[in-house]
Amino acid sequence: MSAEKILSDWKKKQFKPLYWLEGEEPYFIDLLVEYAEKQILSEAEAEFNLSVFYGKDVEWATLINACRRYPMFAEKQVVLLKEAQQMREIEKLEGYVDNPLTSTIFVVAYKEKKLDARTKFAKLVKQKGEVLTTKKLYDNQLPDWTRQMVAQKKLEISDKALLLLVDHIGNDLNRLQNEVDKLALNLDASKQITEEHIEEYIGISKEFNVFELQDAIAGKNLAKAIRIIQYFQSNPKAGPIQQVLPALFSYFSKVYSIFGMPDQSERGVQSVFYNNPFAAKTAVQASKSFGQPGMEKVLLLLHEYNLRSLGVHDAGTEDADLMKEMVVKMIA
């Protein structure tokens, strides 16, 4: 079951006795836990019928006793177990899981890991409860997810602003939501988020960032690439080499994959580039400009300079000098 389906059921006042929320993506777990804590019960009901426990602090017997309590002045009580992955002897909840109280909504947040599906306890949880197993979104899913979140706020975002935001923040859904919330609060009468808004309210330069650097290399614009690296040199937090090189490697690996695609047109490669026509067009142009041997050279140089940035076969060259030397060799 998805987080959206669980949330939809809760809003309709349709509840199961046990919800087990597990997996490596905390955003969806946090979303459900926050709703369970603040929205399922009214403020008056919550005063007597909301119990919140943390895995590292609570004993299994205490938790079972709380779950077996009957609600006061309400139809349901909510029992939350946060950070359940830190709880000792969690499998001793088995007796309650096997026979849960229907008037209790027991929500377990088991973050960053999953139960071993082979165990008796895991099988019982799956049989008796509603299980949500979360996974990290793939990079190519982030733009669509972010655009949908923006749309939920009745806003729009330009293609370039979207890529700038996603490339800078990466796969951190909580932070992406926080930044979009910040933008929504600060926008003027305009309903579209632009690069200027990203620069002003989030602090990501629209001209000097990894996204623009990869575009400069893809377009063989050496002067622009050097200007961006010089900006990184003056503003170390804007483009540390440990973030820049992996981002470039990820992007140019995708460009290189174009050579193995049956349809190498802009439309044919869009799915690899976030379904973004602007990104697909740039990538196709880069593949044609460099050719397969040239793109192989770019990837080999990225690997070489990543090692050098870590001190392998390098006596301590400054990061900015390494990047300048690298882009010269890529574009030459």
Residue ending a domain, among 164, 180, 202, is 202
> What integer pLDDT is reported at residue 204 of this predicted model?
82
> What integer pLDDT is reported at residue 101 of this predicted model?
96
127 with 232, same domain: the answer is: no
> What integer pLDDT is reported at residue 15 of this predicted model?
97
Tokens of 237: 């937090």
The enclosing domain of 87 has a CATH number of 3.40.50.300
116 with 157, same domain: the answer is: no
The enclosing domain of 194 has a CATH number of 1.10.8.60
Q: How many domains does the chain have?
A: 3
Q: Please list the ranges in the chain whose pLDDT falls under 70.
A: none
220 with 262, same domain: the answer is: yes
**How far does CA 15 lie from the centroid of its chain?**
28
Is the Cβ–Cβ distance between 301 and 329 less than 8 Å? Answer: yes
The enclosing domain of 263 has a CATH number of 1.20.272.10
197 with 216, same domain: the answer is: no
48 with 171, same domain: the answer is: no
Residue ending a domain, among 149, 184, 202, is 202
> What integer pLDDT is reported at residue 273 of this predicted model?
84
7 with 124, same domain: the answer is: yes
129 with 158, same domain: the answer is: no
Indicate whether this model's pTM tops 0.75: no
Is the Cβ–Cβ distance between 140 and 276 less than 8 Å? Answer: no
82 with 174, same domain: the answer is: no
18 with 83, same domain: the answer is: yes
Q: How far is residue 150 from each of residues 146, 180, 181, 267, measured CA to CA in Å?
A: 6, 7, 9, 24
65 with 17, same domain: the answer is: yes
> What integer pLDDT is reported at residue 332 of this predicted model?
83
Is the Cβ–Cβ distance between 124 and 99 less than 8 Å? Answer: no
Residue ending a domain, among 182, 202, 222, is 202
d(CA 330, CA 7): 49
12 with 127, same domain: the answer is: yes
> What integer pLDDT is reported at residue 179 of this predicted model?
92
C-alpha angle 65/68/74, rounded to 5°?
125
251 with 315, same domain: the answer is: yes
> What integer pLDDT is reported at residue 188 of this predicted model?
72
Structural domain that includes position 252: 210-331
